[in-house]
Structure 1
Amino acid sequence: MPEKQPLWLGVDVGTQHARALVVNDEGHVVGAGSAALTSTRCGPRHQQDPRRWWTAVVDATRAALAGVHADALGALAVAATSGTILLVDRAGHPRSEALMYDDARAVEETLLVEDVGAPVWRALGYRHMQPSWALPKLLWLSNNYPGLAKETMRLCHQADLITARFIGHPVPTDTSNALKSGYHLLEDRWPDEVFDGLGIPTQMLPAVVRPGTLLGRVNDHAGALTGVPVGTPVVAGMTDGCAAQLGAGCVEIGSWNSVLGTTLVVKGVSDRLVRDPAGTLYCHRGPDDTWLPGGASNSGAGAIAEWFADADLAELTAKAATLPIGPVVYPLLARGERFPFRAAEAETFILGHPDTDADVFAALLLGVACLERLCFDRVAMLGAPMHGMLTFTGGATRNEYWTQLRADLLGRTVHIPDQTEPALGMAILASTSDGRSVREAAAAMVRGQSERSPNPARAAILRQCYADFLEALTARGWLDTAVAAVRP
């Protein structure tokens, strides 16, 4: 009787959904499930109920495993949004709301964090922290929950909470989630001198391991709820951006992945640490001693859900495809931008005069495409290697018109894998528990790679739209003058 092929479970806790994929060694998806999540936004604040994350993961995982021979499951890994944190007690139970990846309330705390930790942040190449990063938000939480003793509270990242529920006890975090919490990636330690200066006890900080490290096994309770066999290995995961990068097969030096979901995340692979004086770009550690430079915008496809909540998007897309290119909407989900430039006062604006819903929709798609072009111009200016393959992932790849528009504006051929979910990246990472490298796993499991080549007929008009977009950002004082000088 032939040996049963192992299956791998990847879980991704996003902003709007929790997703689960069951994938075999060749990258074929044999099971998938999702469950909705809701947020509360108010000005710079963006919160979720962390208890809902596990409920959604349970629903998504049970759906993914329905009809699957779960006894073949080899391991699982969890991805979640980068910089989303909460406080938990020593048993791992939530004791605060969850401050989401783009929550920007910690403005004053950021100034203190930047001052106290300046030497460390310079060494790590990003110089500045942002209010949306985890460390300023941890300081905000520790200062605004006076009823909770700091000595009994622990920092918990979104992925940590879910991983702990699978295993049944608190777990170490991973280096990709720890980066925005101030972890010293060059020296593999929490910089005690920084946390002492901030008044954050080191007891609040979790242990840190590399992604792919075995953390434990699925316990009886989690197995009964999710359908994952008891005893299934659980390995440390990554942030959603890093997970999508793996899922896209973006593992070779010079390759880049653009993830367009609720927000736009750009990630690449470098043979060296890329330093950004403006503090918009940061680097994770990658496999095989590589670095993963990247950044996340506050703009993205999430604006479509807000602006066109009840609209027929297929109909709007068909109409947009017939319209002349011209107006541009720069859509932000909340005030402030973090990448490819830092501007706390940035807000949505419109160039031109779109009249109908289809006009506005087309202008929104073009605005995000312009921002994406600016992201790549920024990383190129910083000296990051750009010679490798470019892939698109994220929910926006389902819109063929938008995907082609983005390729046209970038002027580059792009590759789109059959499966574009960060959950695939976690299935790939889980499969490394069987002994193969990340590169070997990605080569075997990333499938499809259809191509979109730029249309030269639209190059001139798109260059002008992009130049107008840069001029508008510069006029508002948001864009670094050195970047603004890079004209198409």
Structure 2
Amino acid sequence: MSVWIGIDLGTQSVRALAVTGEGRVLGAGSRPLTSHRDGPRHEQDPEQWWSALAAATREALRDVPAGRVEGVAVDATSGTILLTDARGDPLTPALMYDDRRADATRVNEAGAHVWERLGYRRMQPNWALPKLLWLLPHAPAGARLAHQNDFVNRRLTGHEVATDLSNALKTGVDLIEERWPAEVFDALGVPAGMLPDVVRPGARLGEVCAAAAEETGIPAGTPVVAGTTDGCAAQLGAGALLPGNWNSVLGTTLVLKGVTKQLIHDPLGVVYSHRAPDGSWLPGGASSTGAGVLTRDLPGRDLDLLSTQAEARYGGGRSLAGGLPAPVPPRRAAGPLPRAVTYPLVSRGERFPFAAPDAEGFTLGEPADDVERYAAVLLGAAFVERLCFDYLDLLGAPVDGEITLTGGATRSPFWTRLRADVLRRPVTLRENAEPALGMAVLAGGDPARMIRTRAVVDPSGADLREPYLRFVAELEERGWLDARAAAHARERTTR
């Protein structure tokens, strides 16, 4: 019985899973992480990553025979970096993925031709390369750049390691040529010796050294495999692995990630692509809409109860609160549609499927009570999700494959069914789609055996095209959604 270790370095915790080749979790462990926030500043202590990882892996491996572990891989938050010395010890705190103290102006001036060719067109202030320039003036001689998982991978192997292309994306790596664009870094004054080598996710970095084995419980000699960002890890865990397949993660906010054979170029820069282990592309985008609006606008309400009540009112009277077997037959004829729809913007400004820094949430119609307010948010999030797929189709991305839903929203059977109705196609739920599972797969497991389906949810046949088109028209009239994208969304409702 072979076992693979997947480790997820998140913002609030470190999570480790020990997973068999059949996808059975033999052990799990987690430890919390603390952050230091002050306005645009967000830092963590890198040493805490290592101590938390060591404790989490020892817990996960408590009942796993040592001779069964075949590999380990680590994912990390995208855009989190620090500087280390030649031994790999930290010289700075870690600047987290959303630290916004840097300025991207110089980076975008020097690298515009590269960022344009890579499809995302420009960097944001919280990306890793602007943060590296912010750290550079005070960097001592010999300082080295490290991404979050580079730091712990070096501790695991006991020697210098390459970084993966996924985490290096926001540091400016040329994903087409799979190298650092030397002319850009020379123009920015970044010493070449500061940068690690780059490899594809899944490449072997080394083996767990004796010192790391003693601390982590991972057997010495276990292969250490280059990981990915946490978003790509979640996509791997969800099984979105073939061109045309997509993973839609709906929690506090909405994130879509898929697979294409060709690099997608987006004139708005709201979609950008990672490189997959096999050389294909992983395009995606992150919206500022999602379930975070529910806790903000319905504070203290029982959301599970509201889901059940919404299903009873709008779903034909049959509650799905007891769970979703696989496959799920179509429900009975739907009840009346919600009269209201909310654009559920968690914070000011939208990032995907359009760029609108001044966008604000709104509600079309007047919800009569909390049940309708709840349903209006769910419907609006489903409409944004549909619009994301419409926009990806406009860019030429294949969107005809399996759609897997993950994230906290899948706990609501009513919301899951509503999303299938809006998309007008079946959606898939997995038994376990967490990033740590994706890393266990990347470490060497067989995804066909390790990734298990929990349910396939078919649409009910409810026709939501008319309220969707009203929603699209409102976004266009407010000047946030451009005319070409709106027209394409309208055209797709007729297919």
Corresponding residue for residue 113 of structure 1: 107
TM-score, normalised to structure 1, is 0.86
Question: For residues 42 and 307 of structure 1, what CA distance do their matches in structure 2 show?
Answer: 25
Does the CA contact (< 8 Å) of 2:200 and 2:277 recur in 1?
no
Q: Secondary structure at the match of 1:253?
A: coil
Identity of aligned residues (%): 55
Q: Classify 1:126/1:384 alpha carbon distance in 2 versus 1 (closer, same or farther; 3 Å).
A: same
User: Which residue of the other structure, out of 376, 379, 382, is the alignment partner of 1:369?
Assistant: 382
Deviates more, 1:269-278 or 1:64-73: 64-73
Question: For residues 337 and 251 of structure 1, what CA distance do their matches in structure 2 show?
Answer: 27
Q: Deviations over 1:10-62 (max 9, x none)?
A: 11122343222111112222222333345566665554444443343334323
Does the CA contact (< 8 Å) of 1:102 and 1:298 recur in 2?
no
Does the CA contact (< 8 Å) of 1:253 and 1:270 recur in 2?
yes
Measured after TM superposition, the shift of residue 379 of structure 1 is: 0.8
Letter in 2 for 1:177: N
Q: Classify 1:304/1:240 alpha carbon distance in 2 versus 1 (closer, same or farther; 3 Å).
A: farther
Q: Classify 1:476/1:316 alpha carbon distance in 2 versus 1 (closer, same or farther; 3 Å).
A: same
Question: For residues 214 and 251 of structure 1, what CA distance do their matches in structure 2 show?
Answer: 20
User: Which residue of the other structure, out of 234, 242, 257, is the alignment partner of 1:244?
Assistant: 234
Corresponding residue for residue 461 of structure 2: 456
User: Which residue of the other structure, out of 182, 197, 200, is the alignment partner of 2:190?
Assistant: 200
Does the CA contact (< 8 Å) of 1:80 and 1:240 recur in 2?
yes
Q: Secondary structure at the match of 2:387?
A: helix
Q: Classify 1:248/1:70 alpha carbon distance in 2 versus 1 (closer, same or farther; 3 Å).
A: same
Q: Secondary structure at the match of 1:289?
A: coil
User: Which residue of the other structure, out of 245, 257, 265, is the alignment partner of 1:255?
Assistant: 245
Corresponding residue for residue 85 of structure 2: 89
* Residue 466 in structure 1 maps to residue 468 in structure 2: yes
Q: Classify 1:251/1:220 alpha carbon distance in 2 versus 1 (closer, same or farther; 3 Å).
A: same
Q: Classify 1:147/1:182 alpha carbon distance in 2 versus 1 (closer, same or farther; 3 Å).
A: closer
Q: Classify 1:312/1:97 alpha carbon distance in 2 versus 1 (closer, same or farther; 3 Å).
A: farther
* Residue 402 in structure 1 maps to residue 396 in structure 2: no
TM-score, normalised to structure 2, is 0.84
Question: For residues 169 and 402 of structure 2, what CA distance do their matches in structure 1 show?
Answer: 26
Does the CA contact (< 8 Å) of 1:43 and 1:334 recur in 2?
no
Aligned ranges for residues 41-80 of structure 1 at < 5 Å?
46-80=42-76
Does the CA contact (< 8 Å) of 2:81 and 2:145 recur in 1?
yes
Q: Secondary structure at the match of 2:399?
A: coil
Measured after TM superposition, the shift of residue 329 of structure 1 is: 4.3
Q: Which has the higher Rg, Structure 1 or Structure 2? A: 2
Corresponding residue for residue 305 of structure 2: 315
Q: Deviations over 1:355-407 (max 9, x none)?
A: 76655544443333222222211111000112221112234323322222222
Unmatched 5+ residue regions in structure 2?
315-337
Corresponding residue for residue 229 of structure 1: 219
Letter in 1 for 2:72: L
Aligned ranges for residues 7-406 of structure 1 at < 5 Å?
7-39=3-35, 46-106=42-102, 109-142=103-136, 146-149=137-140, 151-301=141-291, 312-322=302-312, 325-332=338-345, 334-354=347-367, 360-406=373-419
Question: For residues 321 and 39 of structure 1, what CA distance do their matches in structure 2 show?
Answer: 39
* Residue 443 in structure 1 maps to residue 448 in structure 2: yes
Measured after TM superposition, the shift of residue 298 of structure 1 is: 3.7
Corresponding residue for residue 326 of structure 2: none
Question: For residues 237 and 59 of structure 1, what CA distance do their matches in structure 2 show?
Answer: 20
Corresponding residue for residue 482 of structure 1: 484
Measured after TM superposition, the shift of residue 475 of structure 1 is: 4.1
Does the CA contact (< 8 Å) of 2:82 and 2:146 recur in 1?
yes
CA-atom RMSD in angstroms: 2.9
Unmatched 5+ residue regions in structure 1?
433-440
Does the CA contact (< 8 Å) of 1:130 and 1:338 recur in 2?
no
Does the CA contact (< 8 Å) of 2:340 and 2:364 recur in 1?
yes
Corresponding residue for residue 436 of structure 1: none
Q: Classify 1:355/1:65 alpha carbon distance in 2 versus 1 (closer, same or farther; 3 Å).
A: farther
Does the CA contact (< 8 Å) of 2:201 and 2:276 recur in 1?
no
Q: Secondary structure at the match of 1:164?
A: helix
Does the CA contact (< 8 Å) of 2:16 and 2:436 recur in 1?
yes
Question: For residues 349 and 160 of structure 1, what CA distance do their matches in structure 2 show?
Answer: 42
Does the CA contact (< 8 Å) of 1:272 and 1:290 recur in 2?
yes
Q: Deviations over 1:143-196 (max 9, x none)?
A: xxx4433x4333322222232332334421101111121111111211111112
Letter in 2 for 1:148: A
Corresponding residue for residue 438 of structure 1: none
Question: For residues 97 and 110 of structure 1, what CA distance do their matches in structure 2 show?
Answer: 20
Q: Secondary structure at the match of 2:380?
A: helix
Question: For residues 326 and 49 of structure 1, what CA distance do their matches in structure 2 show?
Answer: 49
Q: Classify 1:41/1:32 alpha carbon distance in 2 versus 1 (closer, same or farther; 3 Å).
A: same
Question: For residues 377 and 34 of structure 2, what CA distance do their matches in structure 1 show?
Answer: 23
Does the CA contact (< 8 Å) of 1:129 and 1:279 recur in 2?
no
Measured after TM superposition, the shift of residue 287 of structure 1 is: 3.8
Question: For residues 287 and 7 of structure 1, what CA distance do their matches in structure 2 show?
Answer: 21
Corresponding residue for residue 435 of structure 1: none
Measured after TM superposition, the shift of residue 121 of structure 1 is: 1.6
